[in-house]
């Protein structure tokens, strides 16, 4: 029966490919040359991938006009954490001075707590292997604890956003513990966060049975969070935030929608797929395999004959960047050091070979004129793995960071747009006369 229904659905859904050109449809809301259709304006971040004449350039990412590479280099030089400072920058538009930063850190620490019995009644009662779904469920449940959940005044939305930024790490990690206890039969422990620690340190503290972590581990995680915080208004989850916000919906529903978008394997979910794909490659191709053998296996992945049979090499390619994703470059600088420290050089070398080989294979195989390069999530799963972070938390870590960007964009949409987002779909089916039941075949 279901097969029958499937046949009908396919038969009545397929639209001839040439129609998209005929009606000038911007597939993926992209122009023919791949540039996104202009859907909004923003002060929050800028992504530069072409020069003024439209020629590709190495990618540049700016948060509130500050180059992300400079931000990370300064934090590294001064050997300090930056997630809270860059959250302040993205939300409020300027760099905090020391007093402003201290006060903001205190605000986040005070908000880093869940409603009474929330862990017991919501998180532990609904264990799921999919921590992204647990996050969505928890965010929607939080609305019931907020007496003004549907208030969309800027003051209230900001208040809700600061709460969500503070508690996302708690929800994600407790949800992981719930899954690991009820589905993997491991001991259950729920640590409280510490008001004296940064977001990155608290994540590791809440995750580990003995709350321990090294300064290097926490600083690498802090950089990973900063690199994932924000990426313009057009990425799939932030655009979802704009779309849902434009209908007048509340913060909880909007963020649940953004989470649902982020988990997709072509977006934030790519980090877990990239790590699983590399494990698959490791199992099927020896570390010392020739380039020819490795290339043949990558071609099998592209031809949907290997790994998840979706035809994608995860962690490679980007909708906007061509020559390079600047976040990838920053990340990679940490991977080599970490791999050396953790004795994972052989794996790192395999990653590196795939990173170099895959873009060329995709270009050739998909016959694309566009230069393709690795994106931020090619190495992020490997980094998390080396930090001992379970794979169920890879995409939630992205969400823990991106909630900052979503919040800023939701507020920007509320302040500026006041117009429901509503693009057009042209019907290509000629009208028919309704048929009486007795006359149907
Ligand atoms: C944080 C982030 O969201 S970063 C992105 C994370 N996603 C991934 O790593 C998943 C793998 N990558 C992809 O699927 C794509 O590169 C995307 C979704 C990121 C961008 O997709 P697009 O904007 O369509 O990329 P682009 O226009 O450069 O693609 C050109 C062609 O190459 C293909 N292609 C691009 N990247 C890949 C890839 N990694 N594997 C296989 N094919 C690819 C596209 O499907 C397209 O083929 P088509 O013309 O037959 O449809
Ligand atoms: O911009 C995009 O399309 C995807 C991306 O890199 C992000 O959201 O960080």
Please choose, from the candidates 176, 197, 182, the residue with its C-alpha nearest in 3D space to the C-alpha of residue 105: 197
Average pLDDT, the chain: 96
Report in angstroms the alpha-carbon separations of 414 from 41, 140, 154, 237, 245: 13, 20, 8, 17, 7
Q: Which listed ligand is nearest to 365 at the C-alpha?
A: 1
Name all domains of the chain by residue range, CATH numbers in brackets.
66-262+391-416 (1.10.580.10), 270-386 (1.10.230.10)
Choosing from 317, 325, 330, 356 the residue with most ligand 1 atoms within 8 A of its CB, the one to mutate for a pocket test is: 317
Q: Which residues line ligand 2 (CB under 6 A)?
A: 231, 235, 319-320
372, 362 in Cβ contact below 8 A? Answer: yes
CA of 245 to the centre of ligand 2 (A): 19
Residues 234-261: tens digit of each pLDDT: 999 999 999 999 999 999 999 999 999 9
CA distance 186 to 421: 46
CA distance 123 to 140: 12
Q: How confident is the model at residue 354 (pLDDT cuts 50, 70, 90)?
A: very high
Q: How confident is the model at residue 370 (pLDDT cuts 50, 70, 90)?
A: confident
Q: Which listed ligand is nearest to 59 at the C-alpha?
A: 2
Q: How confident is the model at residue 288 (pLDDT cuts 50, 70, 90)?
A: confident
What's this model's pTM, rounded to 2 decimal places? 0.97
Q: What is the pLDDT of residue 369?
A: 77
Q: Is 377 a catalytic residue?
A: yes
Tell me what percent of the residues of the chain surpass a pLDDT of 90. Answer: 95
Q: What is the pLDDT of residue 31?
A: 85
Residue 138 phi/psi, 5° resolution? Answer: -65, -40
The closest residue, in CA terms, to atom 18 on ligand 1 is 266
Which of the following is catalytic: 231, 242, 318, 409? 318
Q: What is the pLDDT of residue 33?
A: 78
Residues 406-436: tens digit of each pLDDT: 999 999 999 999 999 999 999 999 999 999 9
Residues 176-212: tens digit of each pLDDT: 999 999 999 999 999 999 999 999 999 999 999 999 9
Q: Which residues line ligand 1 (CB under 6 A)?
A: 34, 266-268, 270, 302, 311-319, 362, 366, 368, 370, 372, 375-377
- Ligand 2: atom nearest CA of 267 is 4
> Is residue 381's pLDDT more than 90?
yes
When pLDDT is averaged across residues 371-391 and rounded to a whole number, the result is 96
The closest residue, in CA terms, to atom 7 on ligand 2 is 231
Choosing from 36, 269, 318 the residue with most ligand 2 atoms within 8 A of its CB, the one to mutate for a pocket test is: 318
CA distance 5 to 3: 5
> Is residue 26's pLDDT more than 80?
yes
Q: What is the pLDDT of residue 103?
A: 98
What is the distance of C-alpha 327 from the center of its chain?
13
Q: Which listed ligand is nearest to 49 at the C-alpha?
A: 2
Tell me what percent of the residues of the chain surpass a pLDDT of 70. Answer: 100
CA angle 20, 26, 29 (to 5 degrees): 140
351, 382 in Cβ contact below 8 A? Answer: yes
Q: What is the pLDDT of residue 231?
A: 98
> Is residue 72's pLDDT more than 80?
yes
Which of the following is catalytic: 179, 228, 377, 409? 377
Residues 42-70: tens digit of each pLDDT: 999 999 999 999 899 999 999 999 999 99
- Ligand 2: atom nearest CA of 236 is 3
CA distance 239 to 256: 13
When pLDDT is averaged across residues 111-117 and rounded to a whole number, the result is 98
Residues 137-185: tens digit of each pLDDT: 999 999 999 999 999 999 999 999 999 999 999 999 999 999 999 999 9
Q: What is the pLDDT of residue 265?
A: 98
């Amino acid at each position: 029966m279901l097969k029958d229904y499937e046949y009908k659905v396919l038969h009545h859904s397929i639209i001839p490919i040439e129609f998209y050109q005929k009606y000038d449809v911007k597939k993926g809301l992209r122009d023919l040359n791949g540039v996104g259709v202009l859907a909004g304006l923003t002060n929050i971040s800028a992504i530069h991938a072409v020069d003024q004449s439209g020629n590709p350039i190495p990618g540049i990412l700016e948060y509130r006009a500050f180059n992300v590479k400079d931000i990370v280099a300064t934090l590294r030089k001064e050997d300090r954490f930056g997630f809270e400072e860059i959250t302040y920058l993205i939300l409020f538009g300027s760099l905090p001075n020391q007093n402003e930063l201290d006060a903001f850190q205190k605000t986040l620490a005070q908000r880093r707590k869940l409603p009474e019995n929330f862990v017991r009644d919501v998180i532990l009662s609904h264990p799921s292997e999919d921590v992204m779904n647990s996050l969505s469920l928890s965010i929607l449940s939080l609305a019931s604890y907020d007496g003004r959940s549907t208030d969309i005044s800027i003051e209230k939305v900001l208040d809700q956003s600061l709460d969500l930024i503070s508690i996302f790490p708690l929800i994600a990690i407790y949800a992981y513990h719930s899954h690991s206890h009820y589905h993997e039969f491991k001991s259950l422990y729920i640590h409280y966060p510490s008001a004296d620690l940064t977001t990155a340190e608290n994540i590791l503290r809440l995750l580990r049975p003995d709350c321990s972590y090294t300064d290097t581990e926490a600083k690498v995680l802090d950089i990973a969070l900063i690199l994932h915080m924000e990426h313009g208004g057009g990425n799939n989850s932030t655009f979802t935030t704009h779309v849902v916000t434009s209908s007048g919906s509340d913060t909880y529903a909007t963020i649940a929608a953004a989470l649902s978008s982020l988990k997709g394997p072509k977006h934030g979910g790519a980090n877990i797929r990239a790590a699983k794909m590399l494990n698959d490659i490791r199992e099927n191709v020896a570390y010392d395999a020739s380039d020819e053998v490795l290339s043949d296996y990558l071609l099998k992945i592209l031809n949907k004959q290997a790994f998840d049979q979706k035809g994608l090499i995860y962690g490679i390619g980007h909708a906007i960047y061509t020559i390079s994703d600047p976040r990838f470059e920053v990340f990679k600088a940490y991977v080599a050091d970490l791999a050396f420290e953790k004795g994972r050089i052989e794996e790192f070398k395999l990653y590196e070979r795939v990173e170099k080989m895959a873009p060329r294979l995709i270009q050739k195989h998909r016959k694309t004129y566009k230069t393709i390069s690795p994106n931020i999530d090619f190495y992020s799963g490997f980094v998390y793995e080396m930090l001992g972070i379970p794979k169920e938390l890879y995409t939630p870590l992205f969400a823990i960071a991106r909630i900052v960007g979503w919040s800023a964009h939701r507020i920007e949409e509320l302040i500026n747009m006041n117009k429901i987002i509503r693009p057009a779909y042209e019907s290509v089916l000629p009208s028919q006369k309704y048929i009486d039941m007795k006359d149907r075949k």
